[in-house]
Amino acid sequence: MRGSAIGGKTRICGVMGDLVAHSVSPAMHNAAFRELGLDYAYLPFNVGADNLGKAVDGIRALNLVGMNVTIPHKVAVIPLLDEVDPQAQQIGAVNVIHNKDGRLAGSNTDAEGFLRLLEGHGINARGLRVVVLGAGGAARAACFALASQGAVITILNRTADKAAGCAREMAGNTGCTFEALEMNAANLARALAETDLLVNATSIGMAPGADRSPVNSELLERRHTVVDIVYNPVKTRLVRDAEKAGAVAIGGLDMLAWQGALAFERWTGRAAPFDVMRRAATRAVRSYEE
């Protein structure tokens, strides 16, 4: 976006979800557009489940460039699109829609974003025992990324049937074996006693519920590595509890910035200014915390 002006030629992207009031994606993408002098703007759209189909039709009708898809629509949006790339089909979730002359193409940049987060912190998941909390779109992306590195994965979700369904689909699509458990105190204690890496792929701990954690702090140990894909706040309660236990603890900002950078490149055809996007995302989260 050139300066702060939005005109008739400005191209519009955005994010749609049911909880976008605290999204920092607008700040992140608009900073990138300014950096490259692109006449684009990125806006948040709060979309309930009942209006998802209308919102997808609106992308075509309004000739929007594209849309990020977030909680809770990453799985439900798939049948509404004209095409979905093979990796997103394997993951079973879409977080990026690109409007290609009226045809809506779905893809997934969460998995690659998660891998780049791991790489940036020197983590190779091959052979690691991993617990993934959640069975939605973000969890599926994390599971796909981890399976590609040869991790041994247990999925825990509050709804046991959903955990089992996710495990079954991910096993079929990756050729890896997944264990599925209901997310309760007993199963968390058993799973974490045997795990190396814990990934929170739920929204628990996200602002405005930043005082919550999906895991009792007493279960966290120094030997654990903890990744919380929640990025707002920068340090969730889970991350803070893990740090107190002496564990390696990583928040979700890097994953957010990487998945956003990859989406930016799909929409614009330009290399994304990753450092600019990460700094803008960090500033935006800090402003919410103040």
What string of pLDDT tens digits covers the 290 residues of the chain? Answer: 444 588 999 999 999 999 787 789 999 999 999 999 999 999 999 999 999 999 999 999 999 999 999 989 999 999 999 999 999 999 999 999 999 999 999 999 999 999 999 999 999 999 999 999 999 999 999 999 999 999 999 999 999 999 999 999 999 999 998 999 999 999 999 999 999 999 999 999 988 888 999 999 999 999 999 999 999 999 999 999 999 999 999 999 999 999 999 999 999 999 999 999 999 999 999 887 66
Q: Collapsing DSSP states into helix, strand and coil, what is residue 272?
A: coil
**Cα separation of 76 and 69, whole Å?**
10
Is 3.40.30.10 the CATH classification of the domain at 111-251? no
* CATH class, 11-108+254-289 region: alpha beta
Look at residue 4 in the predicted model and tell me its pLDDT: 59
9 is catalytic: no
Q: Tokens 């557009």 sit at which residue?
A: 33
Distances (CA, A) of 95 to 62, 67, 111, 112, 116: 20, 8, 10, 12, 16
Q: Where in the chain is the domain with CATH 3.40.50.720?
A: 111-251
Q: Where in the chain is the domain with CATH 3.40.50.10860?
A: 11-108+254-289
**Torsion 30-35-36-39 (CA) sign:** positive
Query: Which one of 74, 162, 235, 244 is the catalytic residue?
Result: 74
Look at residue 114 in the predicted model and tell me its pLDDT: 96
Q: Is 34 exposed, middle or buried (0-12, 13-18, 19+ CB in 10 A)?
A: middle
Beta strand ranges found along the chain (DSSP E): 11-17, 40-46, 66-69, 83-84, 96-100, 103-107, 129-133, 152-157, 178-182, 197-200, 225-228, 248-250
Whether pTM exceeds 0.85: yes
Look at residue 3 in the predicted model and tell me its pLDDT: 45
